[in-house]
């Protein structure tokens, strides 16, 4: 579906990613890049450098021996983890209340962060599933379209809920009915604006598609990570649990229903550490 002009203009006017994050995106997946090169990208961005050092020294990332240098933090965390943390910090700054979805600023950010954490857990338990490290970034930004919609579209959540109730359809289907597009499509346009890799854009755009017509390990991981965050009650908002998920995602990743329960339990135990990490 075509996005309206005012929304496209809003995406064009969206604050660009900090140069530090842009450079990390470009370096991810490059086997030739060294820890020293990554450290040189980060060390002059005081906000991101401070967050990364705090992360590297946290119990969440096994920081038993304290590190003081960015290079040591890079070695401990790895570039994919660095990018996810840096993006999480930026996303939290961008976040604002999204009344159209009945989400507070903290609701939106925490849902994104928990989804990213869930993606990392999926990657950890299924190392042979071919899931790219960037799946955690796609999970973190899968709902970024909601921020753009509330900035540029004049609509009321009560209208959306009325359509949802009267038609007996899912929240996302009602969103498409009311607006002519959904937040996943808008999020994909933002990913393109930010020059994210095509696979990340694809995962953002189709994370609500049922059934998934063009599955990939990254897309399946984002769908499942979103379901984990929802199951834990994080970022339910007006949508609640009125969302469908392609059950094939679990199967394609080599997971079973019991594995989903274990994923939820593991993510729940790490949520407090996640909130502490981004508290400052």
pLDDT at 90: 79
Q: Kindly state whether residue 244 falls inside one of the protein's structural domains.
A: yes
The predicted pLDDT at position 31 comes to: 66
Q: What is the pTM of this model?
A: 0.87
Give the domain range for residue 117. Answer: 80-277
Give the total number of structural domains in the chain. 1
Q: What is the pLDDT of residue 84?
A: 80
Q: Determine, yes or no, domain membership for 74.
A: no
What's the pLDDT score for residue 221?
Answer: 98
Residue 103 within any structural domain of the chain: yes
Write the CATH number for 153.
1.10.3210.10
In a domain, 211, yes or no: yes
Q: Is residue 114 part of a domain?
A: yes
Residue 108 located in a structural domain = yes
140 assigned to some structural domain = yes
Does residue 191 fall inside a structural domain?
Answer: yes
Report which of 247, 237, 248 is spatially closest to residue 164, judged by C-alpha positions: 237
What's residue 104's pLDDT?
A: 87
What are the per-10-residue average pLDDT scores of the chain (280 residues)? 82 79 73 78 80 82 79 82 80 79 87 93 93 90 91 86 94 94 95 90 96 96 97 92 92 94 94 73
With CA atoms as reference, report the closest residue to 279 among 64, 73, 92, 17: 92
DSSP annotation string for the chain = -PPPHHHHHHHHTSPPPPHHHHHHHHHTT-TT--HHHHHHHHTT-HHHHHHHHHHHTSGGGT--S---SHHHHHHHH-HHHHHHHHHHHHHHHH---BGGGTB-HHHHHHHHHHHHHHHHHHHHH-TTS---TTHHHHHHTTTHHHHHHHHH----HHHHHHHHHHHT--HHHHHHHHHSS-HHHHHHHHHHHTT--HHHHHHHHTTT-SS-SS--HHHHHHHHHHHHHHHTTSS-TTTTT-----THHHHHTT--HHHHHHHHHHHHHHHHHHHHHT--
Per-residue model confidence (pLDDT) at position 30: 65
Task: Give the number of other CB atoms < 10 A from CB of residue 85.
Answer: 25
């Amino acid at each position: 579906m075509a996005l309206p002009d005012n929304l496209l203009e809003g995406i064009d006017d969206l604050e660009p990613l900090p140069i530090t994050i842009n450079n990390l995106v470009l370096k991810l997946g490059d086997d030739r890049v060294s820890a020293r090169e990554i450290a040189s990208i980060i060390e002059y961005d005081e906000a991101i450098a401070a967050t990364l050092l705090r992360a590297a020294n946290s119990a969440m990332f096994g920081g038993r021996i304290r590190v003081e240098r960015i290079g040591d933090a890079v070695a401990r965390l790895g570039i994919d983890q660095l990018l996810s943390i840096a993006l999480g910090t930026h996303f939290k700054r961008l976040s604002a209340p999204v009344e159209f979805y009945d989400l507070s600023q903290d609701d939106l950010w925490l849902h994104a962060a928990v989804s990213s954490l869930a993606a990392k857990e999926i990657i950890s338990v299924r190392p042979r599933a071919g899931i790219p490290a960037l799946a955690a970034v796609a999970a973190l930004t899968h709902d970024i379209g909601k921020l753009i919609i509330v900035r540029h579209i004049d609509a009321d959540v009560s209208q959306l809920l009325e359509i949802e109730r009267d038609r007996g359809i899912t929240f996302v289907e009602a969103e498409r009915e009311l607006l002519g597009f959904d937040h996943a499509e808008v999020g994909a346009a933002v990913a393109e604006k930010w020059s994210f890799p095509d696979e990340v854009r694809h995962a953002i755009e189709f994370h609500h598609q049922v059934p998934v017509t063009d599955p990939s390990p990254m897309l399946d991981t984002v769908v499942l990570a979103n379901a984990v965050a929802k199951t834990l009650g994080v970022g339910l908002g007006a949508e609640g649990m009125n969302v469908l998920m392609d059950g094939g995602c679990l199967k394609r990743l080599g997971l079973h229903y019991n594995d989903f329960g274990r994923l939820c339990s593991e993510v729940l135990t790490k949520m407090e550490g996640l909130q502490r990490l981004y508290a400052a």
